[in-house]
């Protein structure tokens, strides 16, 4: 083959060579290929012949008739020199040619990679990217058909096929699984081999190449190629593996992008929930003579559904409420809005805290049931004229009351489940006359359920202790002491739930209605 | 979270383990919904291997309770660890649920519900 090309490319040179032999007295000159067929010159066999091998490429032969003795030696030497030269030239030519073929192959691959990188820029979705990658793979390997399968939630799904349309689709999952378990490429170059690997393969599959696509060492996809005119070579496989690497980075990029989108959305939701919560909480605290009020909410990273509120009704009562929607994020925030609005409405209708809670429950019970949530709520009225606090507690904790007269604190437990649990609120009203120095602390469970590094909870007992120690301080100081105690305890463990607190402290000699309404007060 | 389901006569026993919080609650919710769709209205939730319940976990149980009751059945609880019992006490959800320490007694509880109905 090589000799043919050489002769046709260098006919003039060969003819000159033949002429020189003719002048030297030779009757014939021929170049023979490796099978002995004349590629140049005749096949004349008359007379004495001298043949010199051109190695794997064939031979050089001259016919010299009947030369004088001694001349043959000279012919032989000359012929041998020429044969050696020709062999060297042929060898170089052949090397050059194979280099050219390699170069062409490399060029093809380069073009394919370029096309791919262009596609990566042009498409955004994973399927069309893998589709164009497969297209290049199939055309470079001259395979008859191919597929790319992607594993999603343990299920293999065909994301691209060449030619598009029906494929031995039902085989794709089992083929892909074989490669996933194997973790490296699998090549079968005969129908028997194919069948041995997967007996259910249809007969028309004679050769196949399956290559895993990995992301972070994990097989996430498979490139499959069926049938090509000749066996799948090591070169083919090297190319497919390179393309599989590219596919891996395409998939990884797509996954990262997806993660980023999801994270961004979650972040946005967190921000929305947080802004709803912040817009709900009162920024100005009510000014009630004889009452020192402080309130604060430290939201968790994901809003935990805490809210507090103060309302003054027409009778001059101060309504205080603290609630916690048993949910997180946007749903919690939305129910916070609804609950607070309903509590405000109810506070304008009823002077009984339990009736207020009952009203809210009636309005919201169905909605809460539909989404499977509930709201713990503490509601109290403080009457500035009598100094009496009336409260009802629907599943809310912790509420701690510090009694100045006995310098001790008590825990006001809920007497009924939260709003939204039962069709009727079962909590009742309780009345407590507040005396100067008494402190009422209403908190959310973010305080007592705060955990430290050992998974230990802060608990209500510790809250009571903090309150006892700080009871003589201002409401603001008590508030700060509670936050700092919980923070110290947590030792940097992230805050899992909102921490909300309202502190009411009775100050001065005032606060008893009887005192205020004596005639002296008017004078 | 480990969730195992066992059928005892006409009561389905769901056993939960470890933490029952915002992260593990969706799986439990899914199982409870599947039971509803299959018409299983008597459910006993075994919490004896659960060491922590947060408000989302509680809300999941409350939602299950409502669904069971609406369908003419009941959802009861079994085996509350002290830490979990405290949370049920604080929120007074122990008033809303029937809570048992013993499985045989719990199953008998369902029997009585049926007799009453």
**H/E stretch holding A454:** none
Q: Are B55 and A323 in contact (CB under 8 A)?
A: no
In whole angstroms, give the CA distance from residue A446 to residue A236: 62
Query: What is the Cα–Cα distance from A171 to A162, expressed in whole angstroms?
Result: 15
Contacting residues of A for B59, CB less than 8 Å apart: 326-327, 372-374
**Secondary structure (3-state) at A511:** coil
SS3 B25: helix
d(C-alpha B81, C-alpha A180), whole Å: 44
Instruction: Provide the shortest C-alpha distance from residue A375 to chain B (in Å).
Output: 9
Residue B94 tokens, joined: 């122990």
Model pLDDT, residue A192? 86
| CB neighbour class for A478 (10 Å; exposed up to 12, middle 13-18, buried from 19) | buried
pLDDT in the model for residue A523: 32
**CB nearest B92 (choices: A324, A395, A420):** A395
Please report, for chain B, the start and end positions of each structural domain, with discontinuous segments joined by +. Answer: 3-110
In angstroms, the Cα distances linking A365 to A335, A371, A420 are 12, 10, 5
Fold of A123-258: Beta-Lactamase (3.30.450)
**To the nearest whole angstrom, how far is the Cα of A373 from the nearest Cα of chain B?**
5
Burial (0-12, 13-18, 19+ Cβ within 10 Å), A103: exposed
Handedness of CA A18, A22, A23, A25 (dihedral sign): positive
What residues of chain A lie within 8 A of the CB of B18, using their CB? none
Phi, psi of B2 (to 5 degrees): -80, 125
User: Strands, E, within A305-407: which ranges?
Assistant: 306-312, 318-325, 375-383, 388-394, 399-403
Write out the two tokens for A140: 């470079």
Taking Cα atoms as reference points, which of A434, A453, A420 lies closest to residue A512?
A: A434
**Residue in B8, B6, B7 with CA at minimum distance from that of residue B16:** B6
Superfamily assignment of A282-521 in CATH? PPM-type phosphatase domain (3.60.40.10)
Nearest residue to A472 (alpha-carbon basis) of A385, A409, A382: A409
CATH class name, domain B3-110: alpha beta
Residue B116's pLDDT is what?
Answer: 65
Q: Where are the domains of chain A?
A: 2-99, 123-258, 282-521
A34 in Cβ contact with A54 (< 8 Å): no
Q: Name the CA dihedral angle for A258, A262, A268, A272, rounded to a multiple of 10 degrees.
A: 150
Q: How many DSSP H helices and E strands does chain A contain?
A: 14, 19
CA gap A181, A186 in Å, rounded: 11
Taking the mean position of all CA atoms in its chain, how far away is CA B116? 21
For chain A, which residues lie within 8 Å of any Cβ of chain B, measuring from their own Cβ?
304-305, 324, 326-328, 369, 372-374, 376, 394-398, 413-418, 420-422, 426-427, 445, 448-449, 457, 496-497
Instruction: Show the beta-strand stretches assigned E in A273-348.
Output: 291-298, 306-312, 318-325
DSSP string over A39-82: EES-----SEEEEEE-GGG-EEEEEEESPPTTHHHHHHHHHHHH
Distance CA A35, CA A33 (A): 5
**CA-only gyration radius of chain B, Å:** 13
Q: Which residue's structure tokens are 């096929």?
A: A161
A276 neighbors A177 (Cβ within 8 angstroms): no
pLDDT in tens, chain A (523 residues): 788 888 888 888 888 988 888 888 888 889 988 888 888 887 666 778 888 998 888 999 888 877 676 777 888 888 899 999 999 988 888 888 888 877 777 777 777 777 777 766 666 678 888 888 888 888 888 898 899 999 888 888 888 888 876 555 678 888 888 888 888 898 999 888 888 888 878 778 889 999 999 998 899 999 999 988 888 888 888 888 888 998 898 889 888 888 999 899 888 888 888 888 888 889 899 999 899 999 999 998 888 889 999 999 888 899 999 999 988 888 888 899 999 999 999 999 999 999 999 999 999 999 998 888 999 999 999 999 999 999 999 999 999 999 999 999 999 999 999 999 999 999 999 999 999 999 999 999 999 999 998 989 999 999 999 999 999 999 999 999 999 999 999 999 999 899 999 999 999 754 444 444 333 333 3
Do strands B98-100 and B74-78 pair parallel, antiparallel, or not at all (unpaired)? parallel
pLDDT tens for chain B, 117 residues long, are 788 999 998 899 999 999 998 888 999 999 999 998 899 999 999 999 999 898 889 999 999 999 999 899 999 999 999 989 998 999 999 999 999 999 999 999 888 776 765
**CA atoms lying within 13 Å on the CB side of residue A493:** 18
Beta bridge partners of B13: B6, B44
Give the nearest partner residue to B92 out of A369, A415, A457, using CB atoms: A415
Nearest to A159 by CA among A108, A188, A123, A114: A123
Facing A328 at nearest CB: one of B56, B58, B65: B56
Contact call for B91 and A420, based on CB within 8 A: no
Q: What is the pLDDT of residue A258?
A: 86
Pick from B29, B54, B91: CB nearest A417: B91
**What CA dihedral angle connects A512, A513, A514 and A516, to 10 degrees?**
100
């Amino acid at each position: 083959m090589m000799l043919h090309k050489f002769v046709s490319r260098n006919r003039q040179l060969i003819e000159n060579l033949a002429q020189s032999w003719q002048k030297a007295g030779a009757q014939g000159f021929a170049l023979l290929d490796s099978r002995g067929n004349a590629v140049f010159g005749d096949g004349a066999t008359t007379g004495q012949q001298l043949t010199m091998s051109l190695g794997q490429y064939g031979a050089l032969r001259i016919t010299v008739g009947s030369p004088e003795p001694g001349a043959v030696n000279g012919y032989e030497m000359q012929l041998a020199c020429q044969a050696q030269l020709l062999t060297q030239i042929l060898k170089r030519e052949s090397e050059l040619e194979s280099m050219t073929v390699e170069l062409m192959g490399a060029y093809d691959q380069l073009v394919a990679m370029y096309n791919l990188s262009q596609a990566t820029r042009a498409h955004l979705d994973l399927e069309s990217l893998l589709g164009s990658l497969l297209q290049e793979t199939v055309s470079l390997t001259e395979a008859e058909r191919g597929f790319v399968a992607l594993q999603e939630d343990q299920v293999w799904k065909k994301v691209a096929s060449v030619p598009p349309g029906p494929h031995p689709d039902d085989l794709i999952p089992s083929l892909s699984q074989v490669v996933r378990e194997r973790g490296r490429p699998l090549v079968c170059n005969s129908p028997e081999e194919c069948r041995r690997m997967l007996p259910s393969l249809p007969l028309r599959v004679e050769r196949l190449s399956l290559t895993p696509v990995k992301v972070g060492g994990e097989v996430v996809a498979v490139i499959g190629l069926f049938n090509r005119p000749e066996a799948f070579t090591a070169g083919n496989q090297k190319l497919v593996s390179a393309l599989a690497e590219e596919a891996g980075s395409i998939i990884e990029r797509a996954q990262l992008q997806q993660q980023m989108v999801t994270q961004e959305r979650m972040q946005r939701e967190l921000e929305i929930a947080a802004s709803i919560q912040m817009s709900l909480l009162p920024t100005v605290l009510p000014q009630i003579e004889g009452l020192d009020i402080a309130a604060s909410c430290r939201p968790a990273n994901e809003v935990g559904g805490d809210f507090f509120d103060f309302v003054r009704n027409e009778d001059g009562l101060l309504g205080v409420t603290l609630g916690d929607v048993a949910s997180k994020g946007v749903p919690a925030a939305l129910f916070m809005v609804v609950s607070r609005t309903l509590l405000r409405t109810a506070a304008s209708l009823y002077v009984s805290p339990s009736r207020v809670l009952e009203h809210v429950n009636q309005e919201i019970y169905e909605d809460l049931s539909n989404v499977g949530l509930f709201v713990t709520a503490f509601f109290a009225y403080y009457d500035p004229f009598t100094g009496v606090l009336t409260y009802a507690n629907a599943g809310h904790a912790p509420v701690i009351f510090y009694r100045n007269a006995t310098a001790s604190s008590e825990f006001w437990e809920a007497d009924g489940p939260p709003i939204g649990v039962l069709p009727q609120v079962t909590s009742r009203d309780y009345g407590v006359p507040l005396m100067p120095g008494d402190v009422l602390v209403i908190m959310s469970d973010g305080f007592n359920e705060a955990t430290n590094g050992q998974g230990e909870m802060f608990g209500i007992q510790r809250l009571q202790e903090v309150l006892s120690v700080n009871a003589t301080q201002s409401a603001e100081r008590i508030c700060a002491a509670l936050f700092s105690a919980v923070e110290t305890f947590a030792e940097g463990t992230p805050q899992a739930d909102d921490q909300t607190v309202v502190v009411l402290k009775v100050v001065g000699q005032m606060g008893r209605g009887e005192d205020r309404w004596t005639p002296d007060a008017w004078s | 979270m480990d969730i195992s389901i066992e059928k005892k006569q006409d009561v389905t026993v769901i056993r939960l383990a470890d933490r029952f919080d915002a992260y593990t609650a969706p799986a439990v919710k899914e199982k409870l919904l599947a039971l509803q769709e299959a018409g299983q209205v008597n459910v006993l939730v075994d919490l004896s291997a659960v060491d922590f319940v947060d408000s989302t976990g509680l809300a999941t149980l409350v939602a299950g309770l409502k669904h069971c009751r609406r369908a003419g059945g009941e959802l009861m609880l079994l085996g509350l660890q002290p830490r979990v019992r405290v949370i049920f006490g604080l929120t007074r959800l122990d008033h809303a649920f029937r809570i048992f320490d013993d499985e045989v007694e719990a199953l008998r509880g369902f029997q009585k519900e049926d007799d009453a109905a």
